Structure 1
Amino acid sequence: MTTTVSHSDGGLSRGLLLLMSVATGLAVAGNYFAQPLLDLIGREMGIGPSSAALLVTAAQAGYALGLILLVPLGDLLERRRLAVSLYAVTAVFLLVSATASNGTVLLVSTALTALTSVGAQVVVPFAATLAAPAERGRVVGTVMTGLMLGLLLARTASGALSELGGWRTVYWVAAVLMALMAVLLRIFLPRLGGDGGGRSYLGLLRSTVAMFRYEPLLRWRAGIAALSLASFSVLWTALTLLLAGSPYGWSESAIGLFGLVGAVGALTATVAGRLADRGYVQAVTGAGTVLLVASWTAITAGASTLVWLLVGVIVLDLAHQAVLNSSQNVLYALRPEARNRINSAFMTCLFVGGAVGSALAAVVWVHSGWTGVCVLGATFSAGTVVLWVLERVTVGRTAGKPAKTSVQQGHDATPATSAN
């Protein structure tokens, strides 16, 4: 029988926290490796640009399905086994991509890789469960830093590896690293039993959807995070177009290195987590939403001035991390026995927001250029402020307290009413 690990005393070791952080970043990175390689892949496979671009769509669709269909299993199955299995299968699908003989095989393997790469979203609530309650914000912030670094640096790493040995090298290296990560997680993660409350798989999925009905904080926080990632995606979708054109005229390799700038903001996630642990979770969210709006002033000026662009990108990434981390801190305190289902619901909304932001940014760029992009991004950012204020008014000022009260006292579950 699976033993559930007690985490009320010891917390999470630094070594294991680092491993889980790297694991999440590596899993997420696999969904972005193809983006700077579309031209190379298209030429070798003999497919047109529009067909090659379907790889990005396949990754998005596969990841969305994984969030909905696989992540909730963490509340039903033994979590170490689930995480290790997903990482191992992802490594296999990456190998298929590395050896793909035609575009169809690559398209299918890309979608399947994205589907199982949601193992990262099993690891995040796993870390939250293992963490001592007083340090949960810091732990989640650290793991999410790894995830965001994987997202931001994937393009840079992909471009560098492809120059060394072609685009297939990227997938070979990623497959080996994912296989290694599966082994390390198998060795070092403790066994942790899920508790689906006797539900079937379909019952588990219905329960995930029902979380929106019974947890008002989930509705508010999912909306806030979705708009935040929409703003984030607007910037990073249009940024390549800006830097490639006048007045910058940067090369593809130089544009890829710009991801390092975003990494500076991602590294601040642990700061937001520490503040949340000290009881300032609502202040962190509020400050994050305001900074999101303010960042677009600098980003707008960045149309012709690199310094302002750098400032705006760093502030926006910092603000997005603050909003995301504080929201997770609030939500993971609601129902510890349902963290994977809550994470599934939350991350699905987050993902939809990012996809909408990317799609609209591309359309707005064509019709209104950088100015239109900045108006769009600022509008999404302003929406986060509005939703946060409405949450404070309708839910009440005690929404962030479970992280320091009922959960720290060792309660197994926080009813929706007490979380309000």
Structure 2
Amino acid sequence: MTGRAAGAGNGMPTEDTRTLSSWAVLLFSLTCALAVGNVYMVQPLLEAIAKSLYVGAGTMGSVVAVTQMGYALGLLLLVPLGDRCDRKTLVVIQLLLSAVALIVAALATNFIMLLCALLLVGVMAVVAQVIVAWAATAAAPSQRGRVVGSVTSGIVLGILLARVASGTIADIAGWRVVYITAAGLLLVLTVALAGLIPAPGLPRLRASYISLVKSMFALFMKDSRLRQRGVLTFLIFTAFSLMWTSMVLPLAAMSASLTQTGLFGLAGVAGALAASRAGVWADKGKGARTSAIALLLLTLCWLPLAGLERSWWLFLVGIVMLDFAVQAVHVINQSAILAARPEAASRLVGANMCFYSLGSALGAIMATHLYAMWGWYAVCCAGALVSLCACLYGIRGYQK
């Protein structure tokens, strides 16, 4: 999978000849997709779970909140360990614990048991960010952008496809089978990672765990690039969450079926896949230009998105534009952050993804309130305003 540095040990200048094979990148991507998808697959299952465990529908919102809370905790408490511990060992342990949590969720006999299991699912889902750091540092600098793009695409695809897959499986076999299936797939991928991909050979930090967690905040204070990219991450995922959280509300009002709603998610997949090329463009030194174009598309995408109630085709175009723009900017952000300080890759990814969590949460809260008070056009106006702020902020940052 990797090669040694040429000239090492003979006094000659060293050249980094590491390469990461395509199958290794695919395995990383699939694992990330499933790990993060486990956080989002509960959303279509809320009504079925409420009936099964005799819980009021209004209480079921806490299921999503607890899972997201676990994800935020994992970003702060587990991701930094990737710079101190062997990443392969850390990833395998997290995947095994995630599989256990999924099995407990499937066997839950009461609501509290389910919440505890899903809290652990959320915490362990941050294994995807450890994998991003592992893949980035295992790849040669010349292929790092492409690798980060591919693995990050797995995360986005997991988010988009999880809702469709879980709803389909639940319709056929029930919500508990969704978690059993996810646990089984995760165990298969864990065995593959453990057996096929060698451990990274990078030096590890000898700092204590507490100092490592504190250093995440120190990195944010010292690293201006992390701060700039973090704000941009916050803004683009606020816009992303505004659309994807509220989309189901006007579609339900138009009597769209669950299958039809899921197909819109597949349109988002097309945009995310197209944006996986953003890492290649970043490797060629075109990251700033690509990001600027993507941010402009993000601002303009709200025009076709606003046409949802008039034309589903217009809406599909807007979804593709939105997902392409967000994914492209996110991939280039990750590549730029990791390129500067690969020895702090896990903490940098964790710090940047905290902005993702904050933006996603804010977008979700804004979306439901705006739609309830003023309808779909208000959501689109807010999304366009947030996107315009991201565009202006990003382009200004690239010019410095």
Counterparts of 1:188 and 1:28 in 2: how far apart (Å)?
Answer: 22
Counterparts of 1:377 and 1:189 in 2: how far apart (Å)?
Answer: 41
Match of 2:172 in 1: 164
**C-alpha displacement of 1:5:** 8.3
> Which one of the candidate residues 386, 391, 396 is aligned to 2:397?
391
Counterparts of 2:314 and 2:275 in 1: how far apart (Å)?
Answer: 22
Give the aligned CA root-mean-square deviation in angstroms: 1.4
Q: Does 1:344 align with 2:350?
A: yes
Within-5 A mapping of 1:144-293: 144-193=152-201, 195=203, 197-246=205-254, 249-293=255-299
Within-5 A mapping of 1:315-354: 315-354=321-360
- Opposite residue 369 of structure 1, the aligned amino acid is G
Counterparts of 1:389 and 1:132 in 2: how far apart (Å)?
Answer: 28
Tell me if the contact between 1:272 and 1:322 (Cα under 8 Å) persists in the aligned partners.
yes
> Which one of the candidate residues 47, 56, 67 is aligned to 1:48?
56
Superimposed CA distance per residue, residues 232-261 of structure 1 (whole angstroms, 9 cap, x where no aligned partner): 111111111111113xx2112321232111
Tell me if the contact between 2:169 and 2:175 (Cα under 8 Å) persists in the aligned partners.
yes
Q: Does 1:36 align with 2:44?
A: yes
**C-alpha displacement of 1:383:** 1.5
> Which one of the candidate residues 3, 8, 17 is aligned to 1:9?
17
Match of 1:413 in 2: none
- Opposite residue 189 of structure 1, the aligned amino acid is I
Counterparts of 1:193 and 1:13 in 2: how far apart (Å)?
Answer: 16
Counterparts of 1:317 and 1:333 in 2: how far apart (Å)?
Answer: 24
May I ask how many residue pairs the two structures share in their alignment?
389
Counterparts of 1:226 and 1:78 in 2: how far apart (Å)?
Answer: 30
> Which one of the candidate residues 135, 143, 166 is aligned to 1:127?
135
SS in 2 for 1:268: helix
Match of 2:303 in 1: 297
Q: Does 1:70 align with 2:78?
A: yes
SS in 1 for 2:276: helix
Counterparts of 1:145 and 1:349 in 2: how far apart (Å)?
Answer: 18
Superimposed CA distance per residue, residues 280-302 of structure 1 (whole angstroms, 9 cap, x where no aligned partner): 01011111111100101111122
Unaligned runs of 5+ in 1: 397-420
Counterparts of 1:211 and 1:10 in 2: how far apart (Å)?
Answer: 27
Superimposed CA distance per residue, residues 69-98 of structure 1 (whole angstroms, 9 cap, x where no aligned partner): 100100000010001110010000000000
Tell me if the contact between 2:24 and 2:197 (Cα under 8 Å) persists in the aligned partners.
yes
Task: Return closer, same or farther for 1:5/1:192 CA change in 2, 3 Å cut-off.
Answer: farther
Superimposed CA distance per residue, residues 309-359 of structure 1 (whole angstroms, 9 cap, x where no aligned partner): 010010010000111011111101110100101001001111111111011
> Which one of the candidate residues 79, 93, 109 is aligned to 2:87?
79
- Opposite residue 306 of structure 1, the aligned amino acid is W
> Which one of the candidate residues 373, 376, 379 is aligned to 2:382?
376
SS in 1 for 2:112: helix
SS in 2 for 1:279: coil
Counterparts of 1:218 and 1:133 in 2: how far apart (Å)?
Answer: 19
Tell me if the contact between 1:196 and 1:204 (Cα under 8 Å) persists in the aligned partners.
no
TM-score, structure 2 normalization: 0.95
Superimposed CA distance per residue, residues 22-50 of structure 1 (whole angstroms, 9 cap, x where no aligned partner): 00000001001110010010011000112
Displacement over 4 Å in runs of 4+: 4-7, 193-196
Match of 1:58 in 2: 66
- Opposite residue 187 of structure 2, the aligned amino acid is A
Tell me if the contact between 2:87 and 2:134 (Cα under 8 Å) persists in the aligned partners.
yes
Counterparts of 2:49 and 2:212 in 1: how far apart (Å)?
Answer: 39
SS in 2 for 1:155: helix
SS in 1 for 2:309: coil
Counterparts of 2:170 and 2:215 in 1: how far apart (Å)?
Answer: 43
Identity %: 38
Counterparts of 2:288 and 2:4 in 1: how far apart (Å)?
Answer: 28
Match of 1:365 in 2: 371
Counterparts of 1:194 and 1:205 in 2: how far apart (Å)?
Answer: 20
Match of 1:401 in 2: none
Task: Return closer, same or farther for 1:65/1:195 CA change in 2, 3 Å cut-off.
Answer: farther
Tell me if the contact between 2:63 and 2:115 (Cα under 8 Å) persists in the aligned partners.
yes
- Opposite residue 305 of structure 1, the aligned amino acid is S
